[in-house]
Amino acid sequence: MNEATPTEQPMAEEEALPSPPLLTLNGVSVQYGRTEVLTDIGFKVHAGDYIGIAGPNGSGKTTLMKAILGLLPLSSGNIQHGNSDSGSVHGRIGYLPQKAFSADRLFPAEVREIVAMGRLAGKRGFRFLNSLDREAVEAMLQKLNLSDLRNRRIGSLSGGQQQRVLLARALVGNPSILLLDEPTSALDPKVREEFYDILGRLNQEDRTTILLVSHDMGSIGKYTQKLLYLDRQILFFGSWEEFCRSSDMSALFGTLSQHNFCWRHTHA
Amino acid sequence: MRDILMILQDAWSYDFIRKALLVGILIAICCSFLGIFLVLKKFSMIGDGLAHVSFATVAIALLLSASPLPVSIPIVVLASLAILKLSEKADLHGDAAIGLVSSFSVATGVVIASLANGFNVDLMSYLFGSILVVRNSDIVLSVILALFVIGAVLVFYNPLFAAAYDEEFAQVSGIRVKLGNQLIAVLTAITIALGIRVVGTMLISSLIIFPTVTALQLSRSFKGTIALSSLVSVISLTAGIFLSYLLDLPTGGTIVILNAMFFAVFFGIRRLAKTA
C-alpha cells in the first residue's frame, strides 16, 4: 500500500500487526482548481501509532489533514475509517486546530462549555447533551488537570491552559485517532515541553493514536515514533530509525540537520 | 409613591398595555437569544439593515392596503438570506453587504411613500414604534412567531453554540454550519419584522445589540450571557412601557434609553472590578 514510500515497508511487518488499521488512505489526490496539491497519498494508521506529519511550507500538510477530516473533496482515491468503507469521519477523529489562539479572547464560553462541544460529534439531530456527556466532560477535565478551571472563561487562560482545554475537547468524544495541527506553535518552550509530555503519556499509557502535523522536525523527531514526510506526495513514511538510516534523506536535509532530529534514534 | 402605584395599576387594567407587554417581552427575549450570535459573528448591524428592509415592506403593504406583517416577513426573510449569501460569496464584507441591501430598501420605501401621500402618518409609526396600538390579529401572529424563534434557538442551541465558537471544529463534528447561519438569518428576519412594531425601524437594532453587549460585560459563560441579556432586555422593556405611560414619553425611545443605562452600569461595574 505504500507505493509512494521510497524505502519499501516489508510486508511481514504489516502482517504481524494484530489489529486492522484505524485509518487507510488509498491513492488520495486533492486538487484546488487545476493545481494538484496532493498526489497519490497512501498510508495506514494503526492503533497506538504516534505519527509526525512534516513537510515544507506549501507541501500540503494542511490539505492532507483537511482531507482526513472530511472537509475537502478528493479528486481521486479514498479514505477509510476503521473497517467500514463509507463510515462517517464524525466522532472518529479528535481534532485540535491550530488557530485556537486567534479566537476572540472575549468570547463568552466557560472551559466546561468548550469541552462539552467535543461530545456533539457522536450525536445527531438536535445534539442534546445528557448526564453521561456531562460525566465524560468532568472526567476529562480531571484527567487533564483542568477541574479547577472548569468555570473560567476560555479567553482568560494562558496559552498552555487553553491548549489543554482544546485537547480535552478533542479527546472527550473518545475518538479513535487524535489529530493535532501545529499544536504548540504559539507556546513558549517550557509549556511546549509540558504539552508534548501530556501527548506522550496519552500515547504510552492509554494507547491513544496520534497524528501530529508540524513543520518543526526537531519537535516531532524528539517525540513521535513514525514520520510521514510530505511534499505534495509522500517522500518518506516509516519509523524514525529507518528515516535516520536512510541515505536518501541526507539529500533532502543534509547530514548535519539530519543528525539533529535523529539524535534520539541513533543514540538511544 | 402611592400615586405611582395607582397609575401603574391603572395602566395594567388596560387591555392594550397587557398585550403590548406580552408581545414586547417575547420579542425582547427573541432579540437576546439571537443577539449573542450576531454580535459575536460581527454581524450586529444586520438588525439595522433588515429594519430598513422592513420599512420598505411596510410601505409596500400600506400601498396595497394589506396587513404589514404577512407582507413583511417573507420579504425580510429573503433579504436576510440574500445578505448572508452576499457576505459569503461575493467577496463583500458582511457590513458592506448589509449597507447595500439597507440603503436600497430605504430608497425604495421613501419612493413608495412619496408615490402615495396618504399613509405617511402610518409609516411614521413604524419608524419609531407603536407597540401600544398593535392590532389583535397581529398579536396572535406575533406571539406564535416569537415562540417559534425562541423554541428554535433552544432546540438547536448546541450546534449553534459550537458553530459560533469554532466553525471548523463544528464542521468536523458533522454540524452543518451553513445551515446554522441560514437559520440564524431567518430567525433574525422574523424577529426584526415583529420588532419594528415595538421600538420602530430606527431603534430595533439596539434591542439586539444593547442587551447582549451589556451581558457580555459581566458574564463568563455562553448560557449565562443569554440569560443575563434576556433579563436586562425584559426589565428594560417592561419598565419602558410603564414609564412611557407614566410620563407620557415615546415607548420605543424610553425602552432603548433604559437599555443604554443598563449598559453604562454594567460597563462601570466591570471597570471597577478590573481596577479593584
- What is chain B's length? 276
Residues A36 and A110 in one domain: no
Residues A195 and A212 in one domain: yes
Q: CA-CA distance, B56 to B62, in Å (whole number)?
A: 10
The per-residue DSSP string of A171-209 comes to HTT--SEEEEESTTTTS-HHHHHHHHHHHHHHHHHS--E
Query: Residue A80 is placed in which grid cell?
Result: 477509510
Across all residues in chain A, what is the average pLDDT?
85
Q: What is the CATH number of the domain that holds B125?
A: 1.10.3470.10
CB contact under 8 A, A91 and B220: no
CB contact under 8 A, B168 and A71: yes
Sheet of A35-45, strand order: A35-45, A23-32, A76-81
Classify residue B273: in a domain, yes or no: no
CB B172 within 8 A of CB A70: yes
Classify residue A1: in a domain, yes or no: yes
Residues A143 and A208 in one domain: no
CB contact under 8 A, A108 and B225: yes
Give the structural domain span for A129: 104-175
pLDDT at A93: 92
B91 pLDDT more than 80: no
Residues A12 and A82 in one domain: yes
Residues A86 and A181 in one domain: yes
Q: Which residue of A has its CA nearest to B173?
A: A121
B158 touches chain A (CB under 8 A): yes
Give the tens place of pLDDT for each residue, A137-155.
Answer: 999 999 999 999 999 999 9
Average pLDDT over residues A183-202: 91
B151 touches chain A (CB under 8 A): no
At residue A51, the 3 state secondary structure works out as strand
Contacts of B118 (CB under 8 A, 6+ apart): none
Classify residue B45: in a domain, yes or no: yes
Residues A144 and A237 in one domain: no
Give the structural domain span for B142: 2-268
Residues A74 and A181 in one domain: yes
Per 3-state DSSP, chain A is made up of helix, strand and coil in percentages (nearest 5) of 40, 20, 35
CB contact under 8 A, A90 and B172: yes
CB contact under 8 A, B172 and A69: yes
- Crossing angle of the two packed helices B177-199 and B251-275, in degrees rounded to 10: 120
Classify residue A97: in a domain, yes or no: no
Residues A219 and A258 in one domain: yes
| Chain A positions touching chain B (beta carbons under 8 Å) | 69-71, 88-91, 93, 95, 97, 99, 103-104, 106-110, 113-114, 117, 120-121, 126-129, 151-153, 169
pLDDT confidence band for A4 (50 / 70 / 90): very low
B44 touches chain A (CB under 8 A): no
Residues A46 and A71 in one domain: yes
Q: Is B117 exposed, middle or buried (0-12, 13-18, 19+ CB in 10 A)?
A: exposed
Residues A189 and A84 in one domain: yes
- Please tell me what DSSP assigns to residue A150: T
- Please tell me what DSSP assigns to residue A76: E
Chain A residues closer than 8 Å to B218 by CB: none
B237 pLDDT more than 90: yes
Classify residue B67: in a domain, yes or no: yes
Q: Is A187 left (phi over 0), alpha (psi -120 to 50) or beta?
A: beta
According to DSSP, the residues that pair with B77 across neighbouring strands are none
B221 touches chain A (CB under 8 A): yes
Classify residue B276: in a domain, yes or no: no
- Structure-model confidence comparison of residues A217 and B148, the more confident one: B148
Chain B residues closer than 8 Å to A127 by CB: 158-159, 175
Residues A84 and A161 in one domain: no
From A70, A120, A152, residue closest to B162, measured CB to CB: A120
pLDDT confidence band for A9 (50 / 70 / 90): very low
According to DSSP, the residues that pair with B62 across neighbouring strands are none
Classify residue A208: in a domain, yes or no: yes
Distance from CA of A62 to the nearest CA of B (A): 13
Give the tens place of pLDDT for each residue, B121-175.
Answer: 677 788 877 777 677 878 899 999 999 999 999 999 999 999 999 999 999 999 9
Residues A168 and A200 in one domain: no
Which span out of A250-254, A256-260, B225-229 was modeled with the highest average pLDDT? B225-229
- The structural domain count of chain B equals 1
Chain A residues closer than 8 Å to B155 by CB: 126
Tell which of A151, A175, A199 closes a domain.
Answer: A175
Q: What is the CATH number of the domain that holds A75?
A: 3.40.50.300
From A90, A113, A129, residue closest to B174, measured CB to CB: A90
- The structural domain count of chain A equals 2
pLDDT at B92: 67
Tell which of A175, A203, A228 closes a domain.
Answer: A175
B176 touches chain A (CB under 8 A): no
Its pTM stands at 0.89
Average pLDDT over residues B231-235: 97
- Provide the percentage of residues in chain B whose pLDDT is more than 90: 57
Q: CA-CA distance, B200 to B7, in Å (whole number)?
A: 26
B219 touches chain A (CB under 8 A): yes
Chain A residues closer than 8 Å to B168 by CB: 71, 97, 99
